[in-house]
Structure 1
Amino acid sequence: MTFNKLVGFLEILKTSIKIMSKNGKLVLMVTLIYLIISSLFVFFNISTLKPIIFDFATKVIELPYLDSQGPFFYQVLSSIQKDVKTLVGVELAFILAFIVTSIFVQAAIILLTGISYKDKKIFLKDLITRVLQVLTRLFITSFHVTLLKVGFLIFGSMLLIFPTVMISMHKIVLEMTIWVLAILVACLFLYFSVVWDLSLVVSVLEECSGIEALGKAERLVKGKKLEGFLVFLLLNLLSFVLFQVLAKMNVVKQSELTQAFLELFQTSCICLLGIFGFQAYTVLYLECKKNRGEEIEMQGSVEYSRISGIPLDEDLP
């Protein structure tokens, strides 16, 4: 049984890689747009926030040495408050723009993968139309998934803090307990994430969202949850290795240009892993539908042909 699960996991990865060639131009276009926009977000975020943070830190350090009754103290304090508002406003704008872009790309990749899985073609105009149709459903489901993930992380943090506060034990025993709990929390998070992330695919390819999409994903993935877990585990391990390598490179003092390049490289790798992850989860969804004997239906027509200036047989003289 375990061997069959491993074969199924490898088959999902193989299909996800193979499927990239179908509708390849659109997949490449969406990927490049995502990489360019993400890189611009990182660049402008750093270039915009760095001066604000430096100015804020300088004033905070200076404030304790000023006369609390003097007029200059209140000027600096007022300036700090303005910096905080600007910092929060700019950061929220970047986050909101990045979320909108990410949701658009997720919808496009899921649709392209589903269409390619059925060996069909779609054109850019039709893809954009269909993406706009599913954005609301995907946003609603993403909101529910985010709440579940945040809630689980809060629960996991409390579970890890509990031994250090409530239990008195030897230092080594305490460290081992925390490590065991941390691994358990991480595995549970990855396990539940299979359903959470699959619900995003469901909300794009089916006319449902939110709790309904989560329920359908839970029922659909029964029997193949281990394969989904292995996909999620692989992507997170690759991300972890990437962060560790780049963290070690950042330990060595680098020029600002090199640091910017490393951050852009890291952002690009994360984006590519995210795109591949949604391709893999779309393939998992389609495989689950096939194994359960359910017909794979794509909303709307996905195969089009453009005939321009070619008369039909009955119109020929």
Structure 2
Amino acid sequence: MDREQEELQFLNFFGICKESTNIIFKWSKIFTKITFTLIIPLSCIFLANQGFSTFITNKIITNATTLDYIPQGSAAYNKISNLITSEWTAFWLIKLAYFMFLLIFSLLCTSAIVYTVACIYTGKEITFKKIMSVVPKVWKRLMVTLLWNFAIMFAYNFVWFIISMIAILIWLILFFPNGEVVGNVGSCIMLLLYLVGFTYISIIWQLASVVSVLEDTYGIQAMTKSKDLIKGKMGISSAMFLIFTICLVGIEMLFQQSEVIDWRINGVLVKLGYGILCLLLLTLLFLFGLVVQTVIYFVCKSYHHENIDKSSLADHLEGYLGEYIPLNSKNIQLEEYHV
């Protein structure tokens, strides 16, 4: 990064985007290698899941509709019923494989990008070989943080489910059957509140992933640290998250609407073109999003006047190349300064 740490706290939405873009272009060679090795496979996994899931789901719906017009117990009925069972088995096997590979490659990508940007920030000499040797060690710390995020998200959804059931019960008692307008408005408010909470937890987890790599804390401690860091920069972080999500959904919709996976339909070259376009857009989105995520970490540090000692951070990063020994928080965990 070309900016001094004191200047980072003043970066706004566009400043963070510009800083992230400059990092990617200035170190394009190393990011290109990471992209081809990790990010493109991650994008392929994401798109393949969307395509095959839609394809199999459509087949299941078609066969289930056909089954309604065939007498039960007939040979044709049993054949189609067995086919639907096989298709559901394939669907869930694909989902399981997708989840496993998505988890692995997403954590590997996060490890590689965060480590790379931190090395750039500290001025450390960095090579692709060095990055790939560090990634498996950082991956373990990120996994613990991710599991804690799953636990928190599960608890959040469980509590929200209980609250929703209570709200529905109250609505039935007070307004049913003439409270349709009240019910619709209440449902919209409940959904909006749920999305706000979901976004907040997701943003904290994303920053906690960076904390897990660059500091001596991970898991629930990293989530707590992230919650403190994000204060004051929640608006920018939320905007980044929402734009990333909108772009992700847009690419997914484009891929599904173009029916790239279904080769039975004419226009193979057009489908291939749409597939390549979606893959390119998704790869760039993942790369840019991970770099932005790391830059936001340094912006939050600067905003809270926590001065990162570059030499201590460099030693911390160097520790991944040998047997990892967590640094004492006083070494990398930053002393406060006042502007």
Asked whether the two chains share a fold, i.e. TM above 0.5, the reply is: yes
1:198 counterpart letter in structure 2: L
* Contact 2:214 2:317 survives alignment (8 Å): no
Displacement of 1:123: 0.6
Correspondence for 1:269? 281
Correspondence for 2:208? 199
CA–CA distance in structure 1, aligned partners of residues 271 and 45 of structure 2: 16
Displacement of 1:183: 3.0
Given candidates 13, 20, 28, the residue that maps to 1:24 is 28
CA–CA distance in structure 1, aligned partners of residues 245 and 82 of structure 2: 43
Correspondence for 1:177? 186
2:99 counterpart letter in structure 1: I
Structure 1 unaligned blocks of 5 or more? 305-317
CA RMSD of aligned residues (A): 3.9
Structure 2 unaligned blocks of 5 or more? 1-7, 260-264, 322-339
Q: Deviations for 1:2-44, whole angstroms, at most 9, x for unmatched residues?
A: xx98854443323222221343211122224445324543675
The yes-or-no answer on 1:14 pairing with 2:21 is no
CA–CA distance in structure 2, aligned partners of residues 76 and 10 of structure 1: 55
Displacement of 1:157: 6.5
* Contact 1:59 1:76 survives alignment (8 Å): yes
Displacement of 1:85: 2.2
Correspondence for 1:313? none
Task: Give the TM-score normalised by the residue count of structure 2.
Answer: 0.70
SS at match of 2:318: coil
CA–CA distance in structure 1, aligned partners of residues 42 and 285 of structure 2: 13
SS at match of 1:121: coil
2:300 counterpart letter in structure 1: C
Q: Name the % identity.
A: 21
Correspondence for 1:229? 238
CA–CA distance in structure 2, aligned partners of residues 283 and 101 of structure 1: 21
Given candidates 290, 293, 309, the residue that maps to 1:295 is 309
Task: Give the TM-score normalised by the residue count of structure 1.
Answer: 0.74
Correspondence for 1:278? 290
The yes-or-no answer on 1:106 pairing with 2:106 is no
Q: Deviations for 1:293-314, whole angstroms, at most 9, x for unmatched residues?
A: 3435143439x9xxxxxxxxxx
* Contact 2:115 2:317 survives alignment (8 Å): no
C-alpha change, 1:277 and 1:46, in structure 2 (3 Å) is closer
* Contact 1:41 1:94 survives alignment (8 Å): yes
